[in-house]
Structure 1
Amino acid sequence: MESVAQWIRGEVLALMGPSGSGKTTLLNLLGGRLNRPNVGGGSITYNDGPYSKFLKSRIGFVTQDDILFPHLTVKGTLTYAALLRLPKTLTKEQKQKRAIDVIYELGLERCQDNMIGGPFVRGVSGGERKRVCIGNEIIINPSILFLDEPTSGLDSTTALKTVQLLQDMAVGGKTVVTTIHQPSSRLFHKFDKLILLGKGSLLYFGKSSEAMLYFSSIGCNPLIAMNPAEFLLDLANGNINDVSVPSELEDKVQIGNSDAGKRNRKPSPAAVHEYLVEAYETRVADKEKKKLMVPTPLDEEVKAKVSSQKRQWGASWWQQYTILFCRGIKERRHDYFSWLRITQVLSTAIILGLLWWKSDSNSLKGLQDQVNNGLVKAGLLFFIAVFWGFFPVFTAIFTFPQEKAMLSKERAADMYRLSAYFLARTTSDLPLDLILPVLFLLVVYFMAGLRMSVASFFLTMLTVFLSIIAAQGLGLAIGATLMDLKRATTLASVTVMTFMLAGGYFVKKSPDICIPGSAICLSTTTPISSSSRFNINT
């Protein structure tokens, strides 16, 4: 791999081919994102050595999907990436300066304070979002930059600007390898080297400007003026409409299924693929392999680093936790304090306060009204426990399914330890979880006329807060276990309903419970809603 990288250093190499030809698989293998045992034989070496964990700090990998936090700004996204990925030897100020330099290098200074945006959040344009993804990788100044279809979903002008940006990076000394699906003719001529794949086989490898000459030399020429990329993709698919073919292929025809039974004088796609693979193996492969096998002189220190299996964390465990904690609060504060959620909580609090307005907690009738209001409606305290005990469950369910892609992407780049992420993700919700319940209780507590003492108020607050923590843990567990929002929501609904029914306000008396094969039985002597005691009969 290093010999290839050395040969194309300062140039842009494009992996082109039809869908299913193996472009993304090859890119993932080269970038160390796919386990080699799953794809058969072969070997990949970097600087004449195997892939190591150290190389993750020297390789940038831009995925096809733009995986970014929608509520963070462009500057914030790149700053957090710099703090987590740049070496420990740099100070915080130096890392922040590197993020600003990348912003200006990518031409993002105009939108650096804008949110990234997403499906439900207005943000930057598609081209700017793609440049932010590239910035997340080049911020470590990688030796090799892999990109999976960086122009997908972009208009031709924006795609051209993106490829021009990649070319400028290559000129600066980086090795840039990108997959491309169907580029325009202007885009095609921007690439220095080209690999054409078809059904997992190599059909061409060399200068992109010489690709048409090569296929012309083996007898394949377009009969009409067309985009070179379109011509090459047609050949890789075995489609030879408007393409002249050599005599060797003209003899390999497939019988048509027309009623007249006439022969369709066109080779089958399989025959075309076989001919192209054979032509490359006999005419080009050996010559290119000799070029690539030229040894690259390497410094002994570089060899030692490449062969090292030790991870190069950009921050200590505590620094990773702190950075992820701050990032989590900044990202989720928009969801927690959205007008919809604030309105929901305050409206519920006001309605409860009006329904239980100044109920007398000192009399027996008032206590019964607050605790248990018979079959007509649940008591105030029961409703508070239900609302803040189960409302966070359905919020926490979405956590891991929604962040799985981001976690996988950042963990693949060794940005942080999994333990630091989990603890930061859990604790960063606690300050946010405390604010809305305090507002809720400030309204309900005094409107309903509950016991007016500081100790009682804070004890109520503590009880609600503990309910929130327990409910959040349940939601996280369900979401992480199933990783499917529909199934997780269904299971959470059943679990919540079970807890509500068994809470002592709907089911007044539970049946006797006996352990089969044992003399131990549990039976309730009084309704669950009052002080229940259990007798153990042996």
Structure 2
Amino acid sequence: MLWVVLQFENVVYKIKFVEEGCFKNSGKSTEEKIILKGVSGIVSPGEMLAILGPSGSGKTTLLTGLGGRLINGHLKGAITYNNKPFSSAIKRNTGFVTQDDVLYPHLTVTETLAFTALLRLPKTFTVEEKTAHAEEIITKLGLTKCKDSIIGDPLLRGISGGERKRVSIGQEMLINPSLLFLDEPTSGLDSTTALRIVSTLRDLAKGGRTVVMTIHQPSSRLFYMFHKVLLLTEGNPLYFGRGEDAMGYFSGIGFSPLVAMNPSDFMLDLSNDAPREDPALIKQTLVSAFKTNLEENLKEQLQEFDIHQVAEKLHEKKLNQWLNTWWQQFSVLFRRGMKERKHESFSNLKVGEVVAVAFLCGSLWWKSNNIQDQVGLLFFYTDFWAFLPMFQAIFTFPQERMMLEKERSSGMYRLSTYFMARTVGDLPMELILPTIFTIVTYWMAGLKPSAGNFFSTLLCVLYNVLVSQGVGLAIGAMIMNQESATVLGSVITLSFSLAGGYFIQHVPRFIAWIKYVSISQYTYKLLLGSQYSPGETYSCGIKATCLIEDFPTIRNIGLRGKGISVVVLAVMLLGYRLLAYVALMRIGVTRK
């Protein structure tokens, strides 16, 4: 493990907030807010720094900036790692645990850490070595008892909150990081569990790691476990130094608690406008006292620090951006995705829904010989298997955005491998239910009983599923808001359906262009072609027959030009997925 000294001096962070006017001509008002106002500090290997402060004080912003993960805004000041700027070498030796535990709920603890090890450890390790390393982390973090339990979520019973946090820490510990950043690691945990988490982190620091965390209101037992403490208020530093010296410092500048109390509670009272005669004056006094008593001494420490006292240093050399090959990443992501999503794709509710609708349709169209009813069933195939896969796909990327941002920020895999694994992994699961639906309804409805007609119909349905799924993926990736994406998807589905050629045969010219972009229109043509051929006849009266291509609905769509429909749908299938991929590229991640 490489040792890293983290230094940050006069860190200032500004961000612009753009507010839209109430009326169209009112314009925009841009407000620049200063989140961090000249924060400095130094953390050495073996030390654990706790960043304290009330909500909105800039704790998480500072932590994110130190971890090289700030995307928006303007960050100024010097942040160095062994006197060098952030680089690929630093990134690969940095672990970052977010406040929210972003984990897959249906994977077990062992599976979660094993898949992470396969993605984050370099290809110089064998699969067996990576798996063994994951087992070591499980033992080290005391997760042996729950290693075969699923992670769970609010609706699915799984491991406890403390165990989830340790799993999140374990994911970062797999790379044996020199730097470890944690955002509120004790949030929502009871005091005993919080103590166990911080004790674990202190032990990790003793091994030569540099640990930095934000924490809201630690107990006194936790407070005295921190080697250094940084207190913030509204982006201003009020104290930086050893935890055991904090109360003495504040007493020395005229601020002492009236009763014996937890040091962190007292410090948070000072920084959080606790009820006093003039809180604004108190805060100004504290900021001035820091600049007078601590800031100059801190700057001297930063200038005098000798980097050569660090036993090991990061050697800058040209590194391959990715630790594993494209195929290795794809293989792991594909297997992980199959394990996680099989529960959702084949849930009892979803299977029951499709089977129930299949038997309902088969009963309604039971052995139908009426051509009007048959073409109606074929259009129902078109509509139902455009609507269902589209709306399932719409939720794909919005639901996984946090996971994608977390793992991409850690440099775990390429966006292309994630996208391909996600879309290819869905195929076998997303095509099974429409196949079952088609088998049930096709034979119950009495459509043409030849194998050629059946498989032609089935392939058309599956083709429709794939193209519609691409539309859903594109909508979800572009909007990333489930509610807004659902509304847009509903409008698009309705437009495609109305222009599909079944409901309206004579569309006005000024809006007839919709049918050329309608998936329903091309799919419906292929489904009609799977059942009927030019020259066939049907009973159109008493002892009278008519050509099948003269039936009103079929005449409007036509039985010729199926090849064009196949090509157009192929372009849509690839085009919508390409659009989804391009939309995902705008999700910001730090890359070095």
- Say yes or no: TM over 0.5: yes
Distance 1:106 1:304, change over 3 A: closer
Give the 3-state SS of the residue equivalent to 2:171 in structure 1.
helix
The one of 135, 138, 142 aligned to 2:173: 138
CA positional deviation for 1:277: 2.1
| Aligned residue in 2 for 1:18 | 54
CA distance in 2, matches of 1:436, 1:533: 28
CA positional deviation for 1:527: 8.5
CA distance in 2, matches of 1:128, 1:87: 26
CA distance in 2, matches of 1:50, 1:213: 35
CA distance in 1, matches of 2:48, 2:279: 30
Distance 1:515 1:469, change over 3 A: closer
Distance 1:11 1:470, change over 3 A: same
Specify every segment of 5 or more residues in structure 2 that has no aligned partner in the other structure, as ranges: 8-40, 514-548, 559-592
CA distance in 1, matches of 2:49, 2:311: 28
CA positional deviation for 1:473: 0.5
CA positional deviation for 1:85: 0.6
- Identity, in percent, stands at 53
Residues 1:341 and 2:344 are matched in the alignment: no
Residues 1:493 and 2:504 are matched in the alignment: no
Residue by residue over 1:437-460, the C-alpha shift from the partner in whole angstroms, topping out at 9 and shown as x without a partner, is: 222122222222222222222212
Specify every segment of 5 or more residues in structure 1 that has no aligned partner in the other structure, as ranges: 242-265, 372-378, 517-524
Distance 1:528 1:473, change over 3 A: farther
Give the 3-state SS of the residue equivalent to 1:437 in structure 2.
helix
Residues 1:416 and 2:387 are matched in the alignment: no
AA aligned opposite 1:225: A
Distance 1:205 1:434, change over 3 A: same
CA positional deviation for 1:57: 1.0
Residue by residue over 1:193-228, the C-alpha shift from the partner in whole angstroms, topping out at 9 and shown as x without a partner, is: 111112212211111011111111112110112211
Residues 1:391 and 2:395 are matched in the alignment: no
AA aligned opposite 1:496: T
Matches within 5 A, 1:516-531: 529-531=553-555
Aligned pairs, number: 486
Give the 3-state SS of the residue equivalent to 1:444 in structure 2.
helix
The one of 30, 33, 43 aligned to 2:69: 33
Residue by residue over 1:396-416, the C-alpha shift from the partner in whole angstroms, topping out at 9 and shown as x without a partner, is: 111111111111111111110
CA distance in 1, matches of 2:175, 2:512: 62
Give the 3-state SS of the residue equivalent to 1:341 in structure 2.
helix
The one of 218, 222, 235 aligned to 1:200: 235
Residue by residue over 1:410-429, the C-alpha shift from the partner in whole angstroms, topping out at 9 and shown as x without a partner, is: 11111101111111111111
Give the 3-state SS of the residue equivalent to 1:27 in structure 2.
helix
The one of 113, 116, 130 aligned to 1:95: 130
Residues 1:468 and 2:476 are matched in the alignment: no
CA contact (8 A) 1:82 1:99 kept: yes
Distance 1:194 1:513, change over 3 A: closer
| Aligned residue in 2 for 1:482 | 479
The one of 274, 278, 288 aligned to 2:288: 278
AA aligned opposite 2:331: T
Residue by residue over 1:55-86, the C-alpha shift from the partner in whole angstroms, topping out at 9 and shown as x without a partner, is: 21100000111111112111111111111111
Residue by residue over 1:340-363, the C-alpha shift from the partner in whole angstroms, topping out at 9 and shown as x without a partner, is: 001001111111111222234xxx
Residue by residue over 1:127-173, the C-alpha shift from the partner in whole angstroms, topping out at 9 and shown as x without a partner, is: 11111111111111000100000111111121111111111111222
Distance 1:301 1:151, change over 3 A: closer
The one of 152, 155, 158 aligned to 1:117: 152
Matches within 5 A, 1:53-202: 53-202=88-237
| Aligned residue in 1 for 2:326 | 317
Give the 3-state SS of the residue equivalent to 1:274 in structure 2.
helix
AA aligned opposite 2:477: A
AA aligned opposite 1:34: L
Give the 3-state SS of the residue equivalent to 2:554 in structure 1.
coil
The TM-score with structure 2 as length reference comes to 0.78
Residue by residue over 1:6-56, the C-alpha shift from the partner in whole angstroms, topping out at 9 and shown as x without a partner, is: 853223210001111111111011100114x82442111111111112321
Residues 1:330 and 2:339 are matched in the alignment: yes
Distance 1:3 1:452, change over 3 A: closer
AA aligned opposite 2:57: S
CA distance in 2, matches of 1:345, 1:427: 22
Give the 3-state SS of the residue equivalent to 2:378 in structure 1.
helix
CA positional deviation for 1:309: 6.5
Give the 3-state SS of the residue equivalent to 1:113 in structure 2.
coil
CA distance in 2, matches of 1:108, 1:206: 34
CA distance in 2, matches of 1:390, 1:217: 70
Residues 1:48 and 2:59 are matched in the alignment: no
Give runs of ≥4 in structure 1 deviating > 6 Å. 298-301, 525-528
Give the 3-state SS of the residue equivalent to 1:18 in structure 2.
coil
Give the 3-state SS of the residue equivalent to 1:44 in structure 2.
strand
Distance 1:14 1:300, change over 3 A: closer
Give the 3-state SS of the residue equivalent to 2:433 in structure 1.
helix
| Aligned residue in 2 for 1:250 | none
CA contact (8 A) 2:505 2:556 kept: no
Distance 1:271 1:86, change over 3 A: same
Give the 3-state SS of the residue equivalent to 1:414 in structure 2.
coil
Give the 3-state SS of the residue equivalent to 1:89 in structure 2.
coil
Distance 1:512 1:291, change over 3 A: closer
